[in-house]
Amino acid sequence: MKFKPFLLERWFSKYEHDCEIMMGESGVKPLTLKELIDLTGNTFDDIDVKLGYGWSNGLPELRELIAEHYEDLDADSIVVTNGAIEANFIISNTLLDANSEVVTIFPTYAQLWQVGENLGARVKKWRLLMDNKYKPNIDQLADMIENTDLIIINYPHNPTGAVLDKKDLEKICELAELHKIPLLSDEIYRGLEYKATDRAPPAVDLSENAISVAGLSKVYGLPGLRIGWLACKNKELLDRIWSFRDFTSICNGVINEKLAAIALQNRELLRERGLKIAIENFEILKQWVDDHSDVISWVPPKAAVLTMLMYHFDMDSETFCRGLIEQKSVFVVPGSCFETEQQFRVGFGYDTERLKIGLQKLSEYIASLKGEN
């Protein structure tokens, strides 16, 4: 197996620690351990657990709480993983090999499809277009899946913050069922839609062929717990995926799972916190884009705390973003990490005041590119 570099993570590791202003992270501002304990009305005694091995499919109490996210699923339909990234990894490794074919929404978080590519699978990219407001073309998908072994979608969408309406999700699920193709639906941002009417149901609620993946990192502000999960109604498929997990991390940290259970017992409180940050900071970013509409274009996100901005300068995205880092110490992500150009990804889920400072510095950088100072 020969791995290609994960460009997004290489960019982070190279530059993030040297920047004063972080505008590249993709989740809401993380809570501290004390903040989580205090906010949920717990004490440190509540997380006093035996430091042995945990359950290989996840703490039963935690799986029961996760199952409440879905209709007609019980704890036995859930496997808890070390982050959503492990869930995606074991799904691809279970279902794909060098003779497989993957159809993936594109652009998207590269790990979703690049694991399959690293296994030797043929990857077909189902492209979302800015001119179509990143709305998927379902007819195009239907023409792409003649010999497909896995369909991958990601909504709310990373890197654009676009959402998928229920009718389109139903059509995707119908195609997966018709052709008997497993559907990996990464739903890590579900719950951060600015309007509840923009929230589609989990794919697993609509199809026996669907595997819904989610976790605590983005919406709940708990990436350091490294708790993700997958949900699947198909017991035979779930057993195969769970069996592969025995060869990765075996189980999760028992303290992490206990804290995750505390978080999900207070899920609405934490989700409302994340949504408040998302909406407040979105409005600030929207005003900034409006003020720079001569050189910046976008499709405003409807969910999450990230989006893609298109700039109208004759330079590639790495040069643009590296210049911003070197001149203003502001970190954003070049579009090249998503195999797209003339764009960069902004994360706006952290401190509001720091976001304002970062946007001011971005304004100064843009002014220098325009020759205004």
Residue 97: pLDDT over 60? yes
Length of the chain: 373
**Cα dist from 316 to 124, 313, 337, whole Å:** 25, 9, 12
Q: Which residues pair with 83 in a beta bridge?
A: none
Backbone phi, psi, residue 337, to 5°: -65, -15
CATH architecture of 7-32+269-367: Alpha-Beta Complex (3.90)
Confidence of residue 169 (pLDDT cuts 50, 70, 90): very high
Average pLDDT over residues 207-228: 97
Give 1's pLDDT tier (boundaries 50, 70, 90): low
pLDDT for 278-296, tens place per residue? 999 999 999 999 999 999 9
Average pLDDT of the residues of the chain: 95
Helix (H) or strand (E) holding 191: none
String of DSSP letters for 126-163: EE--GGGTT---HHHHHHH-SS-SEEEEESS-TTT---
Q: What pTM, to 2 d.p., does this model score? A: 0.95
The domain locations on the chain are 7-32+269-367, 46-265
Q: Which class would CATH give 46-265?
A: alpha beta
Over residues 328-333, mean pLDDT: 96
Give the up-direction half-sphere exposure of residue 291: CA atoms within 13 A in the CB hemisphere.
13
pLDDT at 373 over 70: no
- pLDDT for residue 61 is more than 80: yes
Q: What is the DSSP string of 340-360?
A: --SEEEEE--S-HHHHHHHHH
Task: Specify the pLDDT at position 2.
Answer: 67
Confidence band (pLDDT; 50, 70, 90) for 18? Answer: confident
Q: Using CA atoms, how far apart are residues 370 and 295, in angstroms rounded to an integer?
A: 9
More confidently predicted of 246 and 4: 246
pLDDT value of residue 11: 87
As a whole number of Å, the CA-based R_g of the chain is 20
